[in-house]
Amino acid sequence: MAEMPKIDCAMTNPTVHTMKSIVYDKQVALAQAGGDPGTARRFLDMLLESLSQAERSFYEALDRNDLHDLKENAHRLAGAAPYCGAVALHESAKRLESRAREGDPELNAALTRELIDQIALFRKVTSMKDS
């Protein structure tokens, strides 16, 4: 996957930073499962099974501009993701959780789309790992 450069314009001499988040870290997932591959797989399967409902919940909360539900849904996903090595998904959910409180509909929509994209990417990467 290509790295997306981010320019920090707040600096006098802008520097390029690399936005790099690991989509799926199998070693983290294994460590969270106490080193048991079977448990790590069960955690992963449970997360994958919950993602469709999570997506629906995000869209519904966004449609209603329900900041409480948006924050709570993001909080749940942010809590589950680290147990499965879903690093980028965790970071995206945490971002939405913390920023949803601000009540900016455009920002919430953008962060929700980012999170939905991360969900799709996580599904794709974990399905490729099975092959």
Q: Write out residues in the chain with pLDDT < 70, as ranges.
A: 1-20, 129-131
Q: What is the pLDDT of residue 113?
A: 95
Taking the domains of the chain in order of start, what are their residue ranges?
30-130
Q: Does the domain spanning 30-130 belong to CATH 1.20.120.160?
A: yes
Q: What is the pLDDT of residue 6?
A: 35
The answer to whether the beta carbons of residues 24 and 85 sit under 8 Å apart is: yes
For the stretch 83-117, pLDDT in tens is 999 999 999 999 999 999 888 999 999 999 999 99
The answer to whether the beta carbons of residues 115 and 10 sit under 8 Å apart is: no
Q: What is the pLDDT of residue 130?
A: 62
Q: Please tell me the distance from the alpha carbon of residue 102 to that of residue 108, in angstroms, as a whole number.
A: 9
Token pair listed for 75: 């909080």
Residue 74, burial from CB neighbour count under 10 angstroms (0-12, 13-18, 19+): buried
Q: What is the pLDDT of residue 12?
A: 30
